[in-house]
Amino acid sequence: MLVKISLWLLLFFVSTAADHKPKRYAINLDLSPSDRWTQVIRDHSDAIPAVASISRLYIPEVLQPLVWWLASQLTYFFPVEYTEELKGIARESGLPLGEVVGLNILYDITAFDRRQ
């Protein structure tokens, strides 16, 4: 429950602090997959530590290395281009690949609209 409250507070403060619309990006699919998200990650590098620290509340610290390793192993089941995109995001963000995979899965789960 505390984690959900923390996430909502973070999202509230981030969303209300902005006095402009979020920047729109056109992802250039002609770039190598590992470079497609570079500009997006660089533009949001200040928010990455906060998001990562909140996501780490879901997993006990002692288990995080194992969980990130297991999540990184999931990339063997992903399409090659998708895996390369995730590796590029990990490289640019400084997060372990497994954590990027975990955050991506968490996003997919929370973004799912159950009403449709």
Q: pLDDT per residue over 92-109, tens digit each?
A: 999 999 999 988 888 888
Residue 71 is assigned to a structural domain of this protein? yes
Q: What is the pLDDT of residue 63?
A: 93
pTM: 0.76
Question: What is 87-99 written as a DSSP string?
Answer: HHHHHHHT--HHH
Output the six-digit token pair for 99. 């954590």
Output the six-digit token pair for 49. 């530590």
Residue 39 is assigned to a structural domain of this protein? yes
Residue 70 is assigned to a structural domain of this protein? yes
User: Cα angle at 42 between 86 and 38, to 5 degrees?
Assistant: 40
Residue whose C-alpha is closest to residue 44's, from 114, 109, 103? 103
Query: pLDDT digits over 5-33, tens only?
Result: 656 666 665 555 556 678 899 999 999 99
Residue 12 is assigned to a structural domain of this protein? yes
Q: Which amino acid is at 65?
A: P
Residue 34 is assigned to a structural domain of this protein? yes
Which residue range is the domain that position 79 belongs to?
A: 1-111
Residue 3 is assigned to a structural domain of this protein? yes
Please state the domain count of the chain: 1
Residue 116 is assigned to a structural domain of this protein? no
